[in-house]
Amino acid sequence: MKRLLLGCLGLSLAGCDSLPRDPDHTLERVRSEKLIRVGVIADGGEGPGLGAASAFLGRVARATGARPALRRGASEALLLDLEAGKLDLVLGTVSPDSPWAAEVAILHPLAESAAPQHLLVSPIARNGENRWIMLLEREADSAAAGEA
C-alpha cells in the first residue's frame, strides 16, 4: 500500500512541471521567436512612466532573450489586439476602473500619474497566459524595487 501511495505521489509531482500553463504558449513563443510584440498606449506625450516602462522592458528582454518590437496606438485598438493574440504585452496608462480590467490581466503599476487624473502606468497581458504573466510580474516587482 505504501509503495502504491508513493508511486501515485511521484506521478502527481511529475505533472507539476507543466504548471502554471500558457494555453496559447506566449512565453514559449516569445523565447523561440526572440520577439516580444509590445503595444504602447499613446497618451499624447511621453507620459510619467516612460523610464519605468523602458527599464521593465529591458528586464523582460533579458529574462526571455527576446527583443521588444514596439507599436504605439490607441488603448482600445491595442487591447483588442492583445486579446486576439496579436500582441504579447501592452504598456500604458490605465484607469483603475477601466472596463478592460475584467478582460485582461493588468499587472502591478510601474509608475503613477496624478495629473490631470490619477492613472497607473501598467503592463497588461492576456488573461490565462499564466507563465508569461508570472514572468512579467516578477520583472515588474524587481523593477519597482530597483533591483539591477
pLDDT computed for residue 104 by the predictor: 92
Rounded mean pLDDT, 72-101: 90
Cβ-based neighbour number of residue 75 at 10 Å: 19
Q: How far apart are CA 68 and CA 57, in angstroms?
A: 7
Kind of pairing, strands 35-41 and 67-73? parallel
Task: Using a pLDDT cut of 90, give the percent of the chain over it.
Answer: 50
Domain positions in the chain are 21-145
Q: What would the pLDDT profile of 125-142 be if each residue is shown by its tens digit?
A: 999 999 999 999 999 988
- What's the CATH number for 21-145? 3.40.190.10
Rounded mean pLDDT, 80-99: 89
Q: What is the grid cell recorded at 83?
A: 486579446
pLDDT computed for residue 18 by the predictor: 58
Burial of 4 (0-12, 13-18, 19+ CB in 10 A): exposed
